[in-house]
Structure 1
Amino acid sequence: MSQDTIFSKIIKREIPADIQYEDELVLAFSDVNPQAPTHLLIIPKKPIATVNDIAMEDREVIGHLFVVAAKIARQKGFAEDGYRVVMNCNQHGGQTVYHLHLHLLAGKAMGWPPYQDKLKTKD
């Protein structure tokens, strides 16, 4: 799936973003709709639409997303208190931009489950 997304436009600097980290593989920037005091999105520069589209050759960049999340957590001083990393997949998983991204949330205690909806059960 090769589609121009808001994230690819951020990578190309066609639209502005509050960039917090960048290297040759990934870009991290503040989420425009934060769900925690710190809410960053870490994206691969290579366009990968969903978790379902990760190929064997993407292992390095996918692992690097998590390495960068831990690095940012240490740099921003919340690694010891804790944080959450989330990757949504497709509509029912909550994915709204079809360019794979890792949410990095911190700055408050996170509950579980992370949503208030009741689980639907069959009678």
Structure 2
Amino acid sequence: MVSGNPYELLADRLESIATQVREIEEQARKVLYGDNDDDGYRELMRQKAMVLAGLAAEVEPQAESASNEVKERIERFSISASQSLEVGSVFFMSALLYPEDHQEGEPNDLEIFAANVRAMS
């Protein structure tokens, strides 16, 4: 069943992208810790940052009728990721979506945001 609620559609898309990011991060952990491949890890973190940098454009159709606050938050995700790519910092890329006090197993900022958007529907 497809809903016409714009926040539900946006939440679906955000959750899909959050899952994609988690999969990239999991692959990156395996590459770094299992294969001891720093270059592979760097490339996967770059892919993560590129997905997030394109977030605003990717969800634009679903976010069209969302509040300005929601649109601005989406834009901030993209801006941070773009900045990490400009600086080229693997640490910055790896830290995207995670506050300093993040605990392993807790949802990241994008997952929390997607849940909040879903609650708006």
Task: Indicate the TM-score class for this superposition, using the shorter chain for normalisation.
Answer: 0.3 to 0.5
Q: Which has the higher helix share?
A: 2
Q: Structure 1 length normalisation: TM-score? A: 0.34
Which structure has more relative contact order (CA 8 Å, sep 6+)? It is 2
